[in-house]
């Protein structure tokens, strides 16, 4: 089969690999119909995630058609078109019972914190991802969801990570009616977090970034205010000036470890790797939110040390909430919102690229070329599948 193959930082290519096989009675083999490049994939691409091994296939956002199921699988059948949450989870452990699917205790033997994730290095279990023609899906009875007949497949693929992560970012902010919400980052997750903030009752939404085409896109898609941080001397002061000198009620970090905006953070976090990424957006969130406010963190950071102003958070009496999104918990509500016309996820898709050209797709997305917001990879022979099921 054709699959994305990681060869080292900034080096990926499409290459033929052996097709996956059933390894456990509860596995399924999925023929991929859509996969995405996520902003989190760029952390791997840039060499910032430990134990990302040469030869791995990335991709934790994908849909596909069931080709084969193991003998224990009861909830799927061959021919089903499914969306696959990025979390690999057992559904029965202590954490899954609490719907903390991203913290499953049984699927990732490499770590005691995060659960397993498709295509995200060996710190999340070492499972190959969906930027390929076929992918093995473990725990197939609990993870995948059959795509409803009235749901566009391009909407479905965005339900595997980007939209639920943005939605959970807003949810963790505990937004109250009329709150001012500031989202740091105008990538796909930040865009969806801004849109979701309105769904939860926000009275004002502000998005901060420095890429002008992204700011223009989120302003139109999420009907929000925007701030270019390159035009601001002090972010916390600027947000306070915009909010009667109180600060925002809720701040969301939708950037993570590659945040621009502070030279020292970038030097120590991205280039020298003395900390687990540049925590600039997290600094801004903690310092821009009002006393007693909420900070929600969905931007990805590494598992080691980060220079974070925790003393400011304590003295301001902040509530900090964070996690990888537990995708399946959000799917029923998000599908309701899509059906009601409250949100059209596929509108953020700007590029559809053949899987054969995956290296070009990564370069375009990483370098923010051609006004790229979200890229879909289409495997050979399936470009027309599922436009409307």
Residue-range domain boundaries for the chain: 2-161+326-378, 167-322
Q: Which two tokens stand for residue 15?
A: 């290459």
pLDDT per residue as tens, the chain (389 positions): 999 999 999 999 999 999 999 999 999 999 999 999 999 999 999 998 888 999 999 999 999 999 999 999 999 999 999 999 999 999 999 999 999 999 999 999 887 788 999 999 899 999 999 999 999 999 999 999 999 999 999 999 999 999 999 999 999 999 999 999 999 999 999 999 999 999 999 999 999 999 999 999 999 999 999 999 999 999 999 999 999 999 999 999 999 988 999 988 988 988 888 888 898 999 999 999 999 999 999 998 877 788 899 999 999 999 999 999 999 999 999 999 999 999 999 999 999 999 999 999 999 999 999 999 999 999 998 855 544 43
Q: Using an 8 Å Cβ cutoff, are 226 and 198 in contact?
A: no
Tokens representing 125 are 């279990």
Task: Note whether 80 and 68 are within 8 A (CB).
Answer: no
Q: In CATH, what number does 167-322 get?
A: 3.40.50.720
3-state class (DSSP) for residue 33: strand
Question: What is d(CA 60, CA 325) in angstroms, rounded to the nearest whole number?
Answer: 12
2-161+326-378 topology per CATH: Quinone Oxidoreductase; Chain A, domain 1 (3.90.180)
Same fold, 2-161+326-378 and 167-322: no
């Amino acid at each position: 089969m054709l699959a994305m193959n990681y060869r080292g930082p900034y080096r990926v290519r499409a290459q033929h690999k052996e097709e996956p096989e059933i390894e456990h009675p509860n596995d399924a083999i999925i023929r991929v119909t859509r996969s995405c490049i996520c902003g989190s994939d760029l952390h791997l691409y840039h060499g910032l995630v430990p134990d990302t091994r040469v030869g791995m296939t990335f991709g934790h956002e994908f849909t596909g058609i069931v080709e084969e199921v193991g003998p224990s699988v009861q909830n799927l059948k061959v021919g089903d078109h499914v969306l696959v949450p990025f979390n690999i989870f057992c559904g029965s452990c202590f954490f899954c019972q609490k719907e903390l699917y991203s913290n499953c205790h049984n699927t990732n033997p490499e770590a005691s914190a995060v659960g397993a994730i498709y295509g995200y290095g060996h710190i999340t279990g070492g499972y190959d991802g969906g930027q390929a023609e076929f992918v093995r899906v473990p725990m197939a009875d609990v993870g995948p969801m059959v795509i409803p007949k009235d749901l566009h497949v391009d909407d479905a693929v965005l339900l595997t990570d980007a939209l639920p992560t943005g939605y959970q970012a807003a949810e963790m902010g505990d937004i109250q009616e009329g709150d001012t919400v500031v989202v740091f980052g105008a990538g796909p997750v930040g865009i969806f977090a801004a849109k979701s903030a309105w769904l939860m009752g926000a009275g004002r939404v502000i998005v901060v970034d420095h890429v002008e085409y992204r700011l223009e896109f989120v302003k139109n898609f999420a009907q929000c205010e925007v701030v270019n941080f390159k035009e601001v001397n002090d972010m916390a002061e600027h947000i306070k000036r915009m909010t009667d000198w109180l600060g925002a009620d809720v701040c969301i970090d939708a950037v993570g470890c590659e945040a621009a905006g502070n030279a020292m953070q970038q030097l120590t976090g991205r280039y020298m790797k003395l900390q687990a990424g540049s925590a600039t957006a997290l600094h801004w969130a903690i310092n821009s939110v009002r006393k007693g406010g909420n900070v929600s963190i969905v931007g990805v950071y590494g598992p080691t040390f980060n220079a974070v102003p925790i003393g400011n958070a304590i003295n301001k009496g902040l509530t900090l909430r964070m996690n990888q999104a537990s995708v399946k918990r959000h799917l029923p509500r998000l599908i309701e919102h899509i059906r009601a016309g409250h949100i059209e996820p596929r509108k953020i898709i700007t590029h559809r690229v053949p899987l054969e050209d995956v290296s070009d797709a990564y370069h375009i997305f990483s370098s923010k070329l051609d006004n790229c917001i979200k890229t879909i990879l289409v495997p050979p022979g399936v470009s027309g599948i599922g436009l409307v099921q």
